[in-house]
A and B are shown apart, each in its own frame.
Chain A
Amino acid sequence: MSSQNGDHNDRMAGSPQAGLSERRAQLNRKLDDIKAVEEKTARKSQSSSSGYAQAMKLSSEFIAGVLVGAGIGWVADEWLGTSPFGLIVFLLLGFAAGVLNVLRSVGVVEQQDAKIQREKDARDDRS
């Protein structure tokens, strides 16, 4: 089987067909990436199928982010004496962290990560 494949590749080397099969293999790899991410998110959303559980999950993620941000800001204010500013800055950062938590638990971040990785691979191949 393997010798047969070797023969096949030898014959194809140098012809335009070789580039084509390489590209097809690359395309297959990309599709596998996308499928893996999609399966992961599908499984995740399946496990918490009821709307109540989903709402509970997302709200607790968001609230936890805001609370931790506010807590860090408050402690920073207490220690450094920068009274309102630490709370303001860290509350906003906590808000951002809460949104990040929510996006991550819905699986949006993973999709973006896969996209960035794909684009990076494509750039590497071209150069």
Chain B
Amino acid sequence: MANDPIQQFQIQKLFPIEVGGMDLSFTNSSLFMVLTVAATSAFLIFSTSGRGLVPSRVQSVSEMMYEFVAGTLRSAAGTEGMRFFPLVFSLFMFVLVANLFGMFPYFFTVTSHIIVTFALAMLVILTVIIYGFMKNGMKFLKLFVPSGVPGALIPLVTLIEVISFLSRPISLSVRLFANMLAGHITLKVFSGFVVSLSAMGAVGIFGSILPLGMTVALTALEFLVAFLQAYVFTVLTCMYLNDAIHPSH
């Protein structure tokens, strides 16, 4: 049935590939990830190919994105954090474009699957852990021992801090995934009301104005959420990277 709000998240195999008993099929999810990366790269290459001193319209859009992410990163992690700029900018562009792709009708939303967002979050956290130990050595562990705590409480507080640190990738991935999933389901349910109400005759068509207005409003909200979640993901990434660079609490 076309009215099923969950159906849009189903994974379909486009080209079944099997390597050594492992299922490595090219699915619709993979297709949209490739499309996201391709669209992002194509846009950035196209918009920066002119490189005028006075930027053209397209060029100023990509310059604005650069300035935006660079400003966020610099304010959260300092100039030292700018070495992570390629990672942060790629993450921001991927999440933003994937979220916005999801707003097209009949398109698949890559970020509405928790495994995708969890993989992105693990990428961030592993970068933080590996770089933190590489740069600070054992001093990185000071992140888990806040200063000014009485000696007897230190084991307990450290344990809580460790759990709090481990919960970061989960909250990072759950937030993005839940926002996209909930938004798309709500949108689908309300637009489903329009279809089923207008099938009920004259009164139904009149009554379907309400959910139709709601759908329009929700679409606007979803565009806001798509941008906001990409921004939140980026800000939190910058904050976690800041912990790796300056681990003193």
Contacts and interface: CB of A to CB of B under 8 A. Distances in A.
Contact of A60 (B160, B171, B225): B171
Contacts of A72: 163, 166
B232 interface: yes
Nearest to B182: A56
Interface stretch (B6-14, B79-87, B97-105, B173-181): B173-181
A53 B148 CA distance: 33
Interface string B208-249: 000000000000000011001001100100000000000001
Contacts of B168: 64
B49 interface: no
B170 A64 contact: yes
B228 A94 contact: no
B232 A64 contact: no
Contacts of A69: 163
Contacts of A96: 160, 163
Nearest to A100: B164
Interface string A78-121: 00000000000010011011101100100000000100100010
Contact of B235 (A47, A60, A104): A47
Which of B161, B163, B235, B249 has the most chain A CB within a 10 Å cutoff?
B163
A67 B147 CA distance: 27
Contact of B167 (A90, A101, A113): A101
Contacts of A63: 171, 174
B24 interface: no
Q: Is the interface of A mostly helix, strand, loop or mixed?
A: helix
Interface residues of A, number: 27
A72 B167 CA distance: 11
Given A93-B159, A96-B160, A116-B148, A68 B175 contact: no
A68 B232 contact: no
A48 B167 contact: no
Nearest to B156: A93
Contacts of A113: 146, 249
Given A57-B175, A60-B178, A63-B174, A98 B167 contact: yes
B171 A64 contact: yes
B167 A64 contact: yes
A59 to B, nearest CB: 9
A68 B160 contact: no
A48 B225 CA distance: 10
B167 A93 contact: no
A61 B249 CA distance: 20
A69 B171 CA distance: 13
Interface of B: 146-148, 156, 159-161, 163-164, 166-168, 170-171, 174-175, 178-179, 224-225, 228, 231-232, 235, 249
